[in-house]
């Protein structure tokens, strides 16, 4: 009589690829382009989107790690762990977080801001509280436009700030909020960081370390041997001159995360709490 084989009890393990968020603004090109071009190969699914949409992805668990606004990180610090060595910061003027006002800033003035970045809006509120001691009526828009009559001022960030800067500066009061912060507080302004959800990090420590290293390698390549390609793509997206973009990436932006940046991040949180913004 044949012996029947008993079915084997096998556990099928399905490896889930890390879900990495990357900001789709020009300022992230030095980190993003080496990944999308294949020059730096990482085993992860990449989602490109605005900071606001990426923040939602981390909150919902749809994304595991990646770039995020500093305001989101500070608001959820207990659930996140920073990737070392990497940020989107400035030590002087930033060039792409700009506040334009038609006239004097007063209580009740109407300011339109982008819906895509929590950090820049929080920094604007801090600026209004410290410099002008006013509370404004804040309106959000996908594309803030200072030309609309019912707005007294506008905050523009990222690619749009770079493209409207020259025109709007001719007719409005201009404040580079990165420069305002750096000049007054003497520490870098950290606009964005890379971080992972702690509960994901705990089960994926080796992957976390690997991706941290590869993202720093991507940053170094994007600002080094691939910088010409970064400029090519930035030129197409903004129509700005190559020299302007070169100054933006190499002089205005800072992609490190060192002790002074951590001090800036800590002071930003302290000031936001002091003025009841965080």
63-102, pLDDT tens digit by residue?
A: 999 999 999 999 999 999 999 999 999 999 999 999 999 9
Give tens-digit pLDDT for 164-188: 999 999 989 999 999 999 999 999 9
Domains of the chain, by residue range, sit at 19-90+189-274, 97-185
| Residue in the block written with tokens 């990180």 | 73
The predicted pLDDT at position 244 comes to 94
Query: Is residue 223's pLDDT more than 50?
Result: yes
Which CATH superfamily does the domain covering 97-185 fall into? Periplasmic binding protein-like II (3.40.190.10)
CA 216 to CA 40: how far, in whole Å? Answer: 10
- Beta-sheet strands, E only, within the chain: 19-23, 45-49, 65-69, 80-90, 97-101, 110-114, 137-141, 153-157, 173-176, 189-197
| CA–CA gap between residue 43 and residue 66 (Å, rounded) | 14
The answer to whether 147 and 104 are in contact (CB under 8 A) is: no
What is the model's pLDDT at position 252? 95
d(CA 121, CA 263): 20
Residue 9 has pLDDT above 80, yes or no: no
pLDDT value at 10 more than 70: no
pLDDT per position as a tens digit, 13-51: 335 899 999 999 999 999 999 999 999 999 999 999 999
What pLDDT sits at residue 11? 38
More confident residue, 135 or 186: 186
Confidence grade of residue 146 (pLDDT, cut at 50, 70, 90): confident
CB 76 within 8 A of CB 70: no
Q: What is the pLDDT of residues 198-214, one digit of tens each?
A: 999 999 999 999 999 99
pLDDT at residue 83 in the model: 98
Q: What is the average per-residue pLDDT within 109-115?
A: 93
pLDDT at 142: 86
CA dihedral 100, 101, 102, 106 (to 10 degrees): 170
How high is the pLDDT of residue 189? Answer: 97
Give the up-direction half-sphere exposure of residue 277: CA atoms within 13 A in the CB hemisphere.
24
For domain 19-90+189-274, give the fold: D-Maltodextrin-Binding Protein; domain 2 (3.40.190)
pLDDT for 12: 35
Q: Fold match between 19-90+189-274 and 97-185?
A: yes
Q: DSSP H helical segments within 26-171, as ranges?
A: 29-36, 51-60, 70-75, 118-127, 158-169
- Statement: residue 256 has pLDDT above 70: yes
pLDDT reading at 132 higher than 60 = yes
Return the ∠ at Cα 161 (arms to 150 and 71), rounded to 5°. 90
Helices 205-222 and 29-36: angle between axes, nearest 10 degrees: 110
**What pLDDT band is residue 7 in, cutting at 50, 70 and 90?**
very low
Residue 15: what pLDDT? 52
DSSP state of 66: E
Q: Given its phi and psi angles, is residue 108 left (phi above 0), alpha (psi -120 to 50 degrees) or beta?
A: left
At residue 148, φ and ψ (nearest 5 deg) are: -70, 130
Asked whether residue 111 carries a pLDDT value surpassing 70, the answer given is yes
Q: What pLDDT was estimated at residue 147?
A: 83
Task: State the average pLDDT for the chain.
Answer: 92
Distance CA(151)–CA(161), nearest Å, equals: 17
Q: List the end-to-end C-alpha distance of the chain, in Å, as a whole number.
A: 76
The helix (run of H) or strand (run of E) holding residue 236 is helix 227-238
Where does the pLDDT of residue 135 fall: very low under 50, low under 70, confident under 90, or very high at 90 and above? confident
């Amino acid at each position: 009589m044949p012996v029947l084989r008993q079915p084997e009890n096998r556990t099928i393990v399905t490896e889930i690829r890390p879900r990495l968020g990357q900001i789709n603004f020009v300022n992230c090109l030095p980190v993003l382009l080496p990944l999308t071009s294949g020059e730096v190969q990482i085993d992860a699914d990449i989602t490109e989107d605005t900071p606001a949409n990426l923040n939602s992805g981390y909150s919902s668990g749809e994304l595991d790690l990646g770039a995020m606004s500093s305001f989101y990180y500070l608001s959820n610090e207990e659930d996140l762990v920073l990737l070392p060595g990497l940020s989107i910061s400035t030590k002087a003027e930033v060039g792409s977080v700009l506040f334009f006002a038609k006239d004097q800033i007063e209580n009740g003035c109407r300011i339109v801001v982008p819906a895509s970045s929590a950090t820049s809006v929080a920094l604007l509120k801090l600026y209004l509280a410290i410099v002008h001691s006013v509370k404004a009526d804040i309106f959000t828009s996908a594309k803030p436009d200072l030309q609309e009559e019912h707005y007294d001022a506008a905050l523009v960030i990222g690619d749009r700030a770079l493209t409207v800067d020259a025109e709007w500066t001719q007719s409005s009061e201009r404040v580079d909020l990165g420069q305002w912060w750096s000049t007054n507080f003497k520490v870098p302004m950290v606009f964005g960081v890379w971080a992972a959800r702690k509960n994901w990090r705990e089960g994926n420590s080796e992957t976390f370390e690997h991706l941290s290293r590869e993202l720093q390698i991507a940053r170094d390549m994007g600002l080094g041997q691939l910088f010409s390609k970064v400029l090519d793509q930035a030129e197409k997206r903004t129509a700005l001159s190559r020299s302007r973009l070169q100054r933006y990436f190499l002089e205005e932006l800072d992609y490190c995360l060192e002790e002074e940046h951590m001090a800036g991040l800590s002071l930003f949180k302290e000031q936001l709490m002091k003025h009841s913004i965080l």
